[in-house]
Amino acid sequence: MKTKLRRSLTIMVTVLALLALLTQTALAQVWIHANGGQYFTQYGNAANFFFINNDGYCINGRGPCDPSLWYLQWTYNHAGCGVEEYAIYTMASVQQFNGNTYAWLDQSTGTMYGADYSVTYNGVSTYSVTVNQNAYSEMWATIASGLFKTSAVRLTDGWGSLYWCNGASGYQVEFDEIKLEI
C-alpha cells in the first residue's frame, strides 16, 4: 500500500513539474520596438539623422511592423567626450520578469565599433554596454541578459565606456529595432 501510494505521489509530482515547465515556456514573450515607432523618441539635431528606406529589421516579411516603418536610421558618431544625438526606446509593457534585450543590426550601416547602449531596469538601475555594431550583419546583438523589469534602452552617438572620449569620427551609429524577450 505504501509503495503504491509513494509511486502515485512520485508520478503526480513529476507531472506537475512538467506542467510547470511547459507553462513557463508557453509564457515566453517577445516585444519588438521599431525606430520611428510610438515607443521610440529621438533627441538632438534631426538633420543629423539619416534614413535608408526598405532596409532594416522591419522590411517586408521579417518584422511585425507597419510598412510605414520599413526603414532604419543612422547618424555619424560624436568624436571625443559626450553625445550630440541619441534615442530612447521605451518598453511598451514593463514585465515583472528577467529578460534579454537585443538590438537589430543591419549590413548597410552600423560601422561604429564602440556604440554606447544603456538599459534601464528594476525601476532606476542602469546597465551600460559597449557594442561593436560592425561585428553584426542582419542579426540581433545582445545588449543585456537577465535584467529584471527592463523599461528603456538608450543608444547614443557617443563612445561606450570601453572607448570613452575616443577622438575618432566618421563611424555610422545604427538605430534600428530593439527586442525584449522574456
pLDDT digits (tens, 9 = 90+) for 62-120: 767 778 888 889 999 999 999 999 999 998 777 788 999 999 998 889 999 999 999 99
Residue 50, CA distances (Å) to 9, 32, 85, 105 in order: 63, 21, 12, 15
Grid cell in block for residue 128: 551600460
Chain-centre distance for alpha carbon 73? 15
| pLDDT number for residue 95 | 77
Q: How many residues does the chain have?
A: 182
What is the CB neighbour count within 10 angstroms for residue 148? 14
Domains of the chain: 29-181 (2.60.120.260)
56 within 8 A of 176, measured Cβ to Cβ: yes
Half-sphere exposure of 8 (CA within 13 A, CB side): 5
Note the pTM of the prediction, 2 decimals. 0.81
19-60, pLDDT tens digit by residue?
444 434 445 788 888 888 889 999 999 999 999 988 888 876
132-175, pLDDT tens digit by residue?
999 999 999 999 999 999 999 999 999 999 998 999 999 999 99
CA distance 87 to 109: 17
Rounded to a whole number of angstroms, the distance between the first and last alpha carbons of the chain is 44
155 within 8 A of 90, measured Cβ to Cβ: no
Alpha-helical segments (H) within the chain: 2-26
